[in-house]
Structure 1
Amino acid sequence: MQSLIEWYKLNTGIRVHDNVIIKESFDGSVSAGFGLYLNRGELFDTIDRNKDTQIVLLRIPKHNTFNINTLLEILKDRNQYDSIEDFENTNKIISNLFKKFTTFLSGNNLMNIFLSETTIIIFYFSIFSWMIKQNMFIPEQFKYYLMKVLQVTKIDSKYNYKLPILRDIYKQYPFMDTVEKHIEAYETFFYDNEIKIDEDTLLQLYFAITSRVLEIPEALANVNTKDDELKDTEDYVVSSTLVPILDFVNHSNQYTNAYFDIDRKTDDVLLVFDIEKYQSLPIKYTLTTGEYIEVYISYSKVEEVNHFLNVYGFLPKPNTGSDTKTFQSYTLSFDRDYLTKVPMSISNEDEDVNIRDFYKWFEISPAISLVNINGEWKISRDVQLLQVLLPFISKESNSFYWEYDKHYAKLLAYLNSLVEGLEEELGHVKFLYELYESHIRSRIQNPENDRVGVPQLAWILHKVEYQTESEDSKKSSDDSGKYSEDSEGDLEDSKKHLTYPLICRPSLETVMEYVYDKVKYDATPACFLSYLKDFCSSRLNILKEKSKLSIKTGNKIETGRIAIEERILQNLTDQLLAIINGEAPSQSLFCTNYDTPSRFPYLSKETKVLDCLSLNDINDDIDKNSVEDIDNLFKNEDMDYFSQYIHFFIDVSRGNIPYLEVEPN
């Protein structure tokens, strides 16, 4: 691998510190691929001589890095080619293929779920790989990086997404499904355009690029833009970028001794060794590094278990202590089948409520973050958790509860026609009703969708007020909306209660404003913890059975992956049992001030798409009404709680929302 450094020093503008080498990295006695190292003896000679606190190990010019902008810049640089003919042919081929690719994605409704900076880079290098096999010309730095780095990067997990056991037990996580969609899209496009790239090569490039790409900052002032204000700003953007040599540096939050940055004047990418940081590391580490010191950077302050296993193929050792800046987390996503089959009795009539449907209507991803603190996994008390807690509100333990209204499709149809001024046209209202009913039914019944995709009109939030008889006797018997002597609903200790809609059919944002404190501090978490304990027990049983199968097949990757989740869930279950048995307070399971994700990815499986509802020919008058005029339609006592959804219906009526679904024929 040292020859790689020498090639870049001779053939590019990359500058490498003389004491830097690339060699095999070890985690204990197990090879962890390659890493970047410093000669320890010569390093300290330099420190003593120059009194340096930071040493620049790498300086990589922007035009020697690969992102969606620099790839095009290099392709269009005639100095990269042996002849004008090579320049014109290469650019013509790649330009035409990329145009076809974007057309292919758009025509198959794949733009939103597919296109990103990383997937574009994968596309380019896949084309480069094919062109090399066809003896076509590509710039040398593309060819060298492709053949000497990407194609030889060790990827043990590139077939994981195909392993049946892992696909079955992790179907509630979007990663494997996303990989499958990406690979399928690439393969379909390449096949249709007679570009022969075998599956192993495609997977190798996909995972090698995904694991090596870095988020590199770039000053907005240096970004190609016509906006004069941006040219003068000191703000930054980040780009997904492949950076030769720097991408050999391994990750560690425990032993971080370097960082990467950019030179604002030149946009060069720098790798800087921080001597003070190195000297502050535990003595155990500094004494056992031997002749060479491995250089470590931090890929992420938060080491999310699933992300590291899926993208990098390894799991770092967790930090000890309770550092709120660098920590290990685990996204626990609920099995969607479990949410459907094991409901919770929380409604106003104590009927079983389908929590899966609740989360779909409010577009809440059913997942929570766990944080490793001193070896124990705690639940992060964040906004995502509070949203997951919402369906566990019940009148037995709170002053709020939910009511499910099955007539949501009628309301949607009526409101839609009202905005159009067609509420008297019964045929049109019926058409809208059938359309919404079909769309919602397909979304509710589809286990691979996490969202209904229309305004939340199914769930009504009620408030419960309690009054004693002595308090009630002071009230006027004809006081509208208040409890009277003749009201029913006596409670224990002569308490009486009154319920009324607080916010009818609220959006997620609206309901959080009203119940934030109640969800956070009342008995709701206790209801959730009981449900969570049952889920963990069920999940552990599934994992144990799947582990037995993976052991029989001899697949160490499957077995190891399952074992990691088993350890996490067993630790969580032990803590839950201690709380339920009164051996520990419930607050001991929660932690705060950890920067965990505020939202998690949804599962999304598209079905047949309607063409903008085909309403454009009957809504000619919609543009004559301003938003304010339409808003006034809802400004009365019975309708004002629908005003939060007005813009949705206006957009639908104007043909701006093309994603309503119907059941496949």
Structure 2
Amino acid sequence: MECFYQWYKDHNAVVTDPNVILSKSDLADPSSGYGLYALPDITDEGKSTKDRENDEGILLRIPKNAAFDINTIDAIIHDADMYTTPAQSERTLGKVKEAFKHLMENPKTEEFLSEATILAFYFLLFHFIKEDYEIPALFRQYLDNVLVVTEINNPITRPHEYIPLYRQYPTLLGDELVILYFTSYLENELGIDIEKSEKTIRQIYAAITSRTLEIPHEISEESNDFTTSTTLVPILDFINHSSEMPWCAFDVDRKSADIILKYKNLEPFRNNNNKQELFIQYSDIIEYTSFNFTYGFVPVVPDTSVCYFNLSLQRSLLDKRTRLYYKWFNINPVIQFYKEGIHGKWKINLTHEKFIELLLPFMKDSHIDEQGSWLYNPNAYNTFAEYHSKLDPDENIEDLRTLYRSNIRADEHSAGDIMHFPQLAWTLRYSEGERNVLKKRVSKSEAIDYIKELPEDDLEDTFEAFKKFLTEYANYRDQVIVKFVESIISVEDKDQKAGRQSFLDLCQVERAVLGNIQDIQVKMILEETTKSLDNVPLPPPINVSLDEEEEDIAPEFSEGDSNTNGDEPYDEDNFTDFLDEEYSMLSLFFNR
């Protein structure tokens, strides 16, 4: 690694402070690898780095064209000076163009296309053709000395651990599909041996996704607006993360477009006679799951900082009523927790705009009988068929019933979170006056408006029902984690054991979250004035699958038939008092 560090500096006009060196990191995590350090003194001027004021505290300056984004890679590939002969340049360029053309012609490419996947494509291609084609030294040095050898312990390199427990996070499923796609593409394009090459593909892809930075670029000299590009920045990417000691920060020199590393805080370096490792923050906000999935470790946070955990509920542990409700209303079953510092307790982030949606299936209304607020219709396909037949009387009604029954059941049974139909399966029963109970099939926004108007006692009962559901889920989920962790630990494999800690650390954090659910006091939640929290995104709903898996539907929500009450004919009046109004919702669906 030291050889690459020196080679890269010498061949790319990289400027480093004389006191900045590369050395093995002192961090406890073995996968932290190398880091950049500042020496206490020894400069030409006899002053230590911490006391110098030259170049505004800049420690590292990397020319824009020595970093790798989709534009600089393309420029380097086309630069004939990067090859030993013009013939070699033309030969390699021809191969890259051909491979890229075939990539873009594949209709599946659009599903995975991003700046990061294009960077991965280039370096995977370079790796697998480097024995037969000349690759510019800048790429080959970085590929062989950094990307292929850097240890990454995240879901991409360790799917056998992460996928069984964390497949409810779409990022993991998406990365698995990218790996499958790259593997299939490279097999067809280059004839690689999948069995021998998959590990290398995972290694390079994981190294790239964990090392990229979003580098800002100004839109114009007169404006402070900027765009960002996903970029690999050699040497800068040796710097490790610390939320506790982020001494430095990277930026872009607006005059030269160079990427620079600067001191952010000089105090730790004053009166320090030992070399000091330099750190940046990979992210200002720590959300444990996304951070761990990207970088392959669980960061330590200062005791004064707020950190987050997006608890995406394991879909197979949801009771079927709740699962179907969340599907039909397109509710993402993710609960965001937060805590203040290492010793804080995990609490639900009540300020997140999506939290109230999770309460809807548990809504309690004291004016409603024991049937409850929600009525599920397992034969909602009849509603779609009836309306369709009104639009097109020539269609056979039984054929339409068969069609909608099949499509709706496919969505209900799928492993995804998305229903591709308007919400007409769930009826809200609500009171109007003291005795009059009305039925209406409502949208999510209408249901939210209703729950917001609940009396305080009913809202408390709703929270209690949600807490009961969440407590039962936490107990089951904790058992699942413990059982799975015990199963992988029991397998004696030194290679696997060495990189397993990142996964085990994440499991430990989740178990702490699950444990704090038991301590939730509903009355305290309702009275709590939550502090201002960061806007931390949730993982998206599941809309991809690694296979054609299906979920079982419990007997009370099974296939049903065209009759809902024995031999009585299907009657819309059993489910709504507002049929004409709801048909207008269907008109929007059919007129898309």
- TM above 0.5, yes or no, is yes
Any idea what the Cα deviations from partners look like across 1:481-503, whole Å, max 9, x if unmatched? xx5xxxxxxxxxxxx3433356x
Find the residue that maps to 2:37 and give its secondary structure: strand
Q: Which residue of 2 aligns with 1:121?
A: 119
Which aligned pairs between 1:497-516 and structure 2 lie closer than 5 A?
497-501=435-439, 504-506=441-443, 508-516=444-452
Q: Which residue of 1 aligns with 2:289?
A: 306
Q: Which residue of 1 aligns with 2:204?
A: 205
Q: Which residue of 1 aligns with 2:483?
A: 545
Question: Counterpart of 2:332 in structure 1: which amino acid?
Answer: S
- Verify: 1:169 aligned to 2:197, yes or no: no
Which aligned pairs between 1:612-651 and structure 2 lie closer than 5 A?
638-641=579-582, 643=584, 647-651=588-592
Paired residues of 1:363 and 1:451 also in contact (CA < 8 A): yes
Unaligned runs of 5+ in 1: 223-231, 344-353, 466-482, 484-495, 609-636, 652-665
Question: Counterpart of 1:332 in structure 2: which amino acid?
Answer: L
TM-score, length-normalised on structure 2? 0.82
- Verify: 1:403 aligned to 2:375, yes or no: yes
Find the residue that maps to 1:368 and give its secondary structure: strand
Paired residues of 2:474 and 2:517 also in contact (CA < 8 A): no
Question: Counterpart of 1:117 in structure 2: which amino acid?
Answer: E
Q: Which residue of 2 aligns with 1:372?
A: 339
- The counterpart of 1:383, out of the listed 347, 353, 373, is 353
Q: Which residue of 2 aligns with 1:65?
A: 67
- The counterpart of 1:361, out of the listed 303, 328, 331, is 328
Any idea what the Cα deviations from partners look like across 1:209-242, whole Å, max 9, x if unmatched? 11111111122349xxxxxxxxx75422222110
Paired residues of 2:338 and 2:347 also in contact (CA < 8 A): yes
Structure with greater contact order relative to length (CA < 8 Å, sep ≥ 6): 2
Find the residue that maps to 1:463 and give its secondary structure: strand
How far does residue 599 in structure 1 lie from its aligned partner after superposition? 3.6
Q: Which residue of 1 aligns with 2:534?
A: 595
Query: Size of the alignment, in residue pairs?
Result: 547
Question: Counterpart of 2:217 in structure 1: which amino acid?
Answer: E
Find the residue that maps to 1:601 and give its secondary structure: coil
How far does residue 309 in structure 1 lie from its aligned partner after superposition? 2.5
Going from structure 1 to structure 2, the CA distance change for 1:518 and 1:264 (only over 3 Å counts) comes to farther
Find the residue that maps to 2:22 and give its secondary structure: strand
- For 2:359 and 2:256, the matched residues in 1 are separated by 50
- For 2:291 and 2:274, the matched residues in 1 are separated by 29
- For 1:595 and 1:133, the matched residues in 2 are separated by 49
Question: Counterpart of 1:303 in structure 2: which amino acid?
Answer: I
Any idea what the Cα deviations from partners look like across 1:343-371, whole Å, max 9, x if unmatched? 5xxxxxxxxxx111111122222111121
Any idea what the Cα deviations from partners look like across 1:45-96, whole Å, max 9, x if unmatched? 3577655795112222221111222221222233323333233222221122
Which aligned pairs between 1:151-190 and structure 2 lie closer than 5 A?
151-157=148-154, 161-163=158-160, 166-190=162-186
- For 1:334 and 1:444, the matched residues in 2 are separated by 17
Q: Which residue of 1 aligns with 2:394?
A: 425
Question: Counterpart of 2:317 in structure 1: which amino acid?
Answer: Y
How far does residue 35 in structure 1 lie from its aligned partner after superposition? 1.0
- The counterpart of 1:236, out of the listed 226, 241, 256, is 226
Find the residue that maps to 1:152 and give its secondary structure: coil
- For 1:560 and 1:397, the matched residues in 2 are separated by 51
Paired residues of 2:337 and 2:513 also in contact (CA < 8 A): no
Going from structure 1 to structure 2, the CA distance change for 1:563 and 1:396 (only over 3 Å counts) comes to farther
Which aligned pairs between 1:5-20 and structure 2 lie closer than 5 A?
5-20=5-20
Paired residues of 2:470 and 2:517 also in contact (CA < 8 A): no
Find the residue that maps to 2:412 and give its secondary structure: helix
Q: Which residue of 2 aligns with 1:147?
A: 144
- For 2:270 and 2:311, the matched residues in 1 are separated by 36
- For 1:320 and 1:210, the matched residues in 2 are separated by 29
Paired residues of 1:417 and 1:423 also in contact (CA < 8 A): yes
Paired residues of 1:213 and 1:240 also in contact (CA < 8 A): yes
How far does residue 180 in structure 1 lie from its aligned partner after superposition? 2.3
Q: Which residue of 2 aligns with 1:245?
A: 235
RMSD of Structure 2 on Structure 1 (CA): 3.4
Question: Counterpart of 1:179 in structure 2: which amino acid?
Answer: D
- For 1:440 and 1:89, the matched residues in 2 are separated by 53
Q: Which residue of 1 aligns with 2:384?
A: 412
- Verify: 1:264 aligned to 2:254, yes or no: yes
Q: Which residue of 1 aligns with 2:409?
A: 441
Paired residues of 1:408 and 1:457 also in contact (CA < 8 A): yes
- For 1:21 and 1:212, the matched residues in 2 are separated by 19
Any idea what the Cα deviations from partners look like across 1:436-482, whole Å, max 9, x if unmatched? 32222112112x211112222222334334xxxxxxxxxxxxxxxxx
Going from structure 1 to structure 2, the CA distance change for 1:392 and 1:290 (only over 3 Å counts) comes to farther
Find the residue that maps to 1:240 and give its secondary structure: strand
Percent same amino acid among aligned pairs? 27
Paired residues of 2:4 and 2:141 also in contact (CA < 8 A): no
Paired residues of 1:250 and 1:295 also in contact (CA < 8 A): yes
Paired residues of 1:161 and 1:176 also in contact (CA < 8 A): no
How far does residue 33 in structure 1 lie from its aligned partner after superposition? 0.9
Paired residues of 2:50 and 2:270 also in contact (CA < 8 A): no
Paired residues of 1:24 and 1:34 also in contact (CA < 8 A): yes
- Which moves more between the two structures, 14-23 or 510-519? 510-519
Find the residue that maps to 2:25 and give its secondary structure: strand
How far does residue 336 in structure 1 lie from its aligned partner after superposition? 1.0
- For 1:141 and 1:532, the matched residues in 2 are separated by 53
Any idea what the Cα deviations from partners look like across 1:154-193, whole Å, max 9, x if unmatched? 2244775442x54322232234333321211111111112
Going from structure 1 to structure 2, the CA distance change for 1:41 and 1:559 (only over 3 Å counts) comes to closer
Paired residues of 1:132 and 1:138 also in contact (CA < 8 A): yes
Going from structure 1 to structure 2, the CA distance change for 1:601 and 1:431 (only over 3 Å counts) comes to same
Q: Which residue of 2 aligns with 1:392?
A: 362
Paired residues of 2:431 and 2:437 also in contact (CA < 8 A): yes
Any idea what the Cα deviations from partners look like across 1:100-138, whole Å, max 9, x if unmatched? 12333x1xx4632x222111111110100112122x122
Going from structure 1 to structure 2, the CA distance change for 1:372 and 1:139 (only over 3 Å counts) comes to same
- For 1:252 and 1:19, the matched residues in 2 are separated by 21
- Verify: 1:585 aligned to 2:524, yes or no: yes
